[in-house]
Amino acid sequence: MASDIPGTKEAREVLKKHKIVIAGVGETEQGKIPDRSSFHFLSQASKLAIEDAGIKKTDVDGLVTAFSLVEHTFMHCTTFADYFGMKPKFFTSVAIGGATAVWMAAEAAMAIASGQAEVVLCVRGDNTLSGISSSGMLALIREMCHGEFEFPYGLTTPGGYALAAQRYLHDYGATREQLAAVAVTMRKHAALKENAMNKDPLTIEEVINSRIIAEPLTKYDCSIISDGGAAFIVTTEAKAKELGIENGLAYLLGMGQGYSHQYMTTLENLDQIYNAINRSGQKAFQTAGLGVDDVDLAYLYDCFTITVLLELEGLGFVPKGEGGAFALEGRMEIGKDLPVNTHGGLLSQAHLGAMHHVVEATLQLRGDAGPRQVGDAEVAIVHGNGGIVSAHSTILLGKEPLS
Amino acid sequence: MAEEKTYNKPLPDFRPETKPYWEGCKNHALVLPRSKETGKFFFYPRAMSPGDDMSEDIEWVEASGKATVWTYAIHHMGPSKAYKGDPPYVVALVEMEEGVKMMTNIIDVDPHDVYIGMEVEVVYDDITDEVTLPKFKPVK
C-alpha cells in the first residue's frame, strides 16, 4: 500500500472547492450499425447527453474528445467542434488508448478548476465494427506493439494480452476457468442492459471451448468490436444548479494515473503492472480519503478477461493472484461482494473504451440503472487501461461530494 | 529460373539508430546495445540509453544467444492474410543471458511443448536477402 502520495491533499482541496460533477450522459444504439460515420455517432451521443442534462447546446463551453480508429484526424476535438457546430472555449483530445475515457473526465475537471470552461462535453464515438478496413485493422494491431522489434514476429493484440495471461497463470497458479468466469459475469450483466450487443447466456465451458485466438485466450476472453457513441457532461454542482439540471449528480472524488510500459518487451515482471495500477488507484483513493472497502461498484477495463483480474488485484480489492477465485465464486455479480461492470463491459455490452463504464457508474449513482440498479451504491471506481495493461487511469465517483 | 524469395509479412520499421543490430543479424550475430557509461544492456535498441545516464555513447556487444522463455502466446490467428498456414505459431518474450528481454518466435518445436523457463538459443531466419530475424529454438 502506497504511503502519502504527493499532490493528493492539494487535489482534494481543489475537488472540494469546485464540486466537480458528471451531470448528464448519453449513449447511442450500440452494435453493428453500418450506415453511420464516426462523426455521426459523436454528434448523436453529444445531443443525447445535452438533452439528458436538460441544457442547451450553447451552455456547453468545453469539449474533450478522443480519437477515431476509422477516421484519422490530426486535430480530433476541433474537427468534431466544426462538424457539430460549436465554438468551445476549451478543447482537447485525449489519446491514451483504453485509459482515455476515464481521463477525459479528469481533463474536464482540471479545465474547470483552472477557469478554462464551466460545462465540458466529453464524447467518444466510432464506427469501428463497420468502418474499419483490413489495412486499418492491421495498422491498429501494428500500433499496439513495437513496429520494429515486436510486430515482425506476428504478434496480435490478443496475443499481447495472452503473453500477460500466460505469465499470470504461471506465477499464481490461476486457472483457465477463473479467466473464463470473468466473461460469464459480464454476459450476465449485459443481459440486464437493453443497449447491449451480446446478451445470450454464456457458460465457462462455452468460453473455454470457443475458438482459440491466442492461447491461453479464446474468442470469449476477448472484447467485442462495435459501432456507437457515448458522452458525458462535466460541470460543477453550482453550475448544474444554475442551469436547472435536475439529474442526480455523480461527484468526482479523486483521480490518478499510473504508467508501466508501452511495449511488452520492456516489461520486467507482473509487479510492474500491479504497481502502475495501484499507483493510479491510490492517487484517486488518497485524494478522496477513501479505501477499497468504501467502494460499492467497480468499473474495470475488460478488453480481455485477464485485465479484470490484474486490476482487481492491483487496485487492492483482493490479494495478488486471488482475482480468479473471486471471479469464479461469482463475487463480481450484481448483488454480491463487489459488482463489476454492471452494464456488461467491453466483453459483452459494447467497446467504446471505458465510455460506457463512466456512463454506467453515473447512472448507478443517480439511481437510474433500471434492472441493473445496485440499491445502496454510493461510491464507484472506474479504471481504464491503455496499451497492453500499460497505461492506467482511475477516477472515483460518489453520490455525495467530498466533505 | 532461380526461385524468387517472396516475403509478404510485415518487415521491421527501421529507425536509423538500429542499423548495427540489423547488420549483426544479417551476419548471423546477435548484438545488443549497452551504455558505455553505465555498462548496462538495454533492449529494444535506441539512440539513447533509457537509463538515467541518457548517454548516446552506446556500444554493441555480441550476445551469447542463450535465453529462457519468460512468457509465450500460441497464436492461432495471425495479424493478416500473409500469415495463412502459419498458425499455430509461438510468439514469446525471452530473457537473454545478458538480462534483457526480447520478443521472438520459438521455432523447431511443437508449440504445446514450449513452457515458461524453457532454455532456448538463437537461430537466424533470413526472411529476405536484406533482413534477418533472430528467432529461438529449444536447446537440445
Task: Looking at the complex, report in whole angstroms how far the Cα of residue B95 sits from the nearest Cα belonging to chain A.
Answer: 10
Domain limits, chain A? 9-132+225-242
pTM above 0.95, yes or no: yes
The answer to whether the CB of A307 falls within 8 A of the CB of A182 is no
**How far is the C-alpha of A158 from the C-alpha of A215, rounded, in Å?**
9
Q: Does B61 touch chain A (CB under 8 A)?
A: no
Q: Give residue B97's pLDDT.
A: 98
Q: Chain B: residue nearest A215 by CA? A: B74
Chain A residue numbers with beta carbons less than 8 Å from the beta carbon of B93 are: 163, 264-265, 267
For A354, the 3-state DSSP assignment is strand
Whether the per-residue pLDDT at B79 is higher than 80: the answer is yes
* Nearest-Cα residue of chain A relative to residue B102: A265
Contacts for A269 with CB less than 8 Å, ≥ 6 apart: none
Radius of gyration of chain A (CA): 20
- For residues A91 and A81, the answer to whether their CB atoms sit within 8 Å is yes
Burial A28-58 (b: 16+ CB within 10 A, else e): bebbebeebbbbbbbbbbbbbbbebbebeee
Which of A305, A119, A283, A102 is closest to A222 using CA atoms?
Answer: A305
Q: Does B39 touch chain A (CB under 8 A)?
A: no
Tell me which chain B residues have a C-beta less than 8 angstroms from the C-beta of A145: 103
Say whether B10 and A134 touch across the interface (CB within 8 A).
Answer: no
In chain A, the residue whose alpha carbon lies closest to the alpha carbon of B7 is: A152
The CATH number of domain B16-138 is 2.40.50.840: yes
Q: Cell numbers at residue A369, please?
A: 440503472
Query: In this predicted complex, what is the ipTM?
Result: 0.96
Question: Could A159 and B73 be called an inter-chain contact, meaning their C-beta atoms sit closer than 8 Å?
Answer: yes
Closest partner CB to B9 (pick from A141, A154, A160) = A154
Cβ–Cβ of A214/B76 closer than 8 Å? Answer: yes
Calpha distance A57→A121 (Å, rounded) = 10
Going by pLDDT thresholds of 50, 70 and 90, the confidence category of residue B6 is confident
Give me chain B's average pLDDT, please. 96
pLDDT range class, residue B63, cuts 50, 70, 90? very high
B102 at interface of A, judged by CB pairs closer than 8 A: yes
| Closest residue by Cα to residue A330 from A211, A217, A197, A177 | A177
CA distance to partner chain A, nearest, from residue B2 (Å): 26
Distance, in angstroms, between B83 CA and closest chain A CA?
8
CA-based end-to-end distance of chain A: 24
A155/B71 CB distance under 8 A: no
Confidence (pLDDT) at A133 = 86
pLDDT value of position B3:
53
| pLDDT less than 70: residues of chain A | 1-3
Kindly list the domain boundaries of chain B, sorted by start residue.
16-138
Q: What distance in Å separates the CA atoms of residue A178 and residue A169, rounded to the nearest whole number?
A: 10
pLDDT for res B5: 63
What is the arithmetic mean of pLDDT over B112-131?
97
In this complex, do A134 and B73 lie within 8 Å of one another by their Cβ atoms? no
φ, ψ (nearest 5 deg) of residue B67: -155, 170
Chain A residues with CB within 8 Å of chain B CB: 134, 138, 141-142, 145-156, 158-160, 162-167, 170, 211-217, 263-268
Write the burial class of residue A80 (CB in 10 Å: 0-12 exposed, 13-18 middle, 19+ buried): buried
Q: Cβ A167–B71 below 8 Å, yes or no? A: yes
Asked if B54 has any chain A CB less than 8 Å from its own CB, the reply is no
Best of B32, B76, B106, B130 to disrupt the A interface by mutation (most A CBs within 10 Å)? B76
Q: pLDDT at position A142, please?
A: 87
Other C-beta atoms closer than 10 Å to the C-beta of A85 total 8
Q: From CA A340, how far away is CA A351, in angstroms rounded?
A: 16
Crossing angle of helices A270-288 and A157-172, in 10° steps, is: 90
Average pLDDT for B78-85: 94
Q: Check CB contact under 8 Å for A154 and B75.
A: yes
- Minimum-distance CB partner of A163 among B11, B12, B71: B71
Chain A CB contacts of B44 below 8 Å: 146, 148-149, 263, 265-266
Q: What is the CATH number of domain A9-132+225-242?
A: 3.40.47.10
Q: Which pLDDT belongs to residue A3? A: 67
